């Protein structure tokens, strides 16, 4: 007769053979709990189907993704649903950090303004020689195609209630810096103002043509070449 173990519970009695390796019993794995052992025995496809843990998105995550979308696809790309899909998040995560789309747009534009405009002007201010600073300024305007594209997107959408004030701030900052630089180089305030306006107009015109009619402006006209060209046209425009 086979040896039988009787295990009693308040509700019922279970009879199980003590024979090792009895079919239907989970093997005990040394150092591993029963739930863990059961999980390790799951088929791979079922284990893979479990949702991965998502990290908690921060306000900075949404802002950074919005700036990238602005540079990649323009203003229309800064919208809640496509950004949430890109981040693998829900719209609830968005509304935890922002009141609405305009709030995100304002935060993204202000972040870009601070990093691409304010910090760059602060860096240029450290260059003592005004001529050297001027050349570095013009070269810096074209150093980042991404920043150029973002500014052109903002410029094209200057009638937007959030973007309009930002464009005005950015242009005034750049123009004030440029005019002050020219005065330090020896121009009168009137000459410096005209020269700054003409030089900035030339730069904007070149960027618009480059985007609207690709190939019209030679690709090699970048960096120092473009800086020299803009400076020359500015001098001609103001009669210097």
pLDDT: is 204 or 47 the higher one? Answer: 204
Q: Which domains does the chain have, with CATH numbers?
A: 108-237 (1.10.357)
Q: Is the per-residue pLDDT at 78 higher than 90?
A: yes
Longest CA–CA separation in the chain, Å: 117
Nearest to 22 by CA among 3, 41, 44, 42: 3
Q: Is the per-residue pLDDT at 32 higher than 70?
A: no
Residues 6+ apart with CB under 8 A from 34: 26, 28
Give pTM, 2 decimals: 0.70
Taking the C-alpha atoms of residue 188 and residue 239, their distance in angstroms, rounded to an integer, is: 13
Taking the C-alpha atoms of residue 113 and residue 95, their distance in angstroms, rounded to an integer, is: 23
Residue 17's H or E segment, with its range, is strand 13-17
DSSP 8-state secondary structure symbol assigned to residue 114? I
Q: Is the per-residue pLDDT at 31 higher than 70?
A: no
Taking the C-alpha atoms of residue 28 and residue 37, their distance in angstroms, rounded to an integer, is: 8
Taking the C-alpha atoms of residue 166 and residue 171, their distance in angstroms, rounded to an integer, is: 9
pLDDT of residue 28: 44
pLDDT: is 221 or 68 the higher one? Answer: 68
């Amino acid at each position: 007769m086979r040896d039988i173990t009787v295990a009693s519970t308040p509700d019922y009695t279970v009879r199980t053979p003590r024979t090792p390796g009895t079919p239907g019993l989970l093997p005990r794995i040394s150092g591993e709990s029963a739930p863990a052992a059961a999980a390790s025995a799951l088929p791979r496809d079922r284990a893979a189907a479990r949702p991965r843990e998502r990290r908690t998105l921060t306000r900075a995550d949404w802002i950074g993704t919005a700036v990238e979308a602005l540079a990649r696809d323009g203003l229309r790309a800064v919208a809640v649903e496509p950004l949430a899909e890109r981040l693998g998040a829900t719209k609830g995560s968005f509304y935890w950090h922002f009141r609405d789309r305009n709030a995100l747009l304002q935060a993204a534009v202000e972040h870009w303004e601070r990093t691409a405009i304010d910090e760059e002007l602060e860096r240029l201010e450290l260059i003592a020689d005004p001529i050297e600073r001027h050349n570095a300024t013009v070269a810096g305007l074209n150093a980042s195609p991404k920043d150029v594209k973002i500014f052109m997107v903002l410029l094209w959408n200057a009638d937007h209630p959030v973007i309009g004030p930002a464009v005005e701030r950015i242009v005034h900052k750049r123009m004030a810096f440029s005019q002050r630089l020219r005065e330090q180089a020896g121009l009168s305030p009137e000459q410096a103002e005209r020269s700054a306006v003409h030089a900035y107009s030339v730069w904007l015109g070149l960027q618009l043509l480059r985007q609207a009619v690709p190939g019209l402006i030679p690709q090699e006209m970048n960096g120092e070449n473009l800086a020299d060209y803009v400076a020359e046209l500015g001098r001609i425009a103001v009669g210097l």
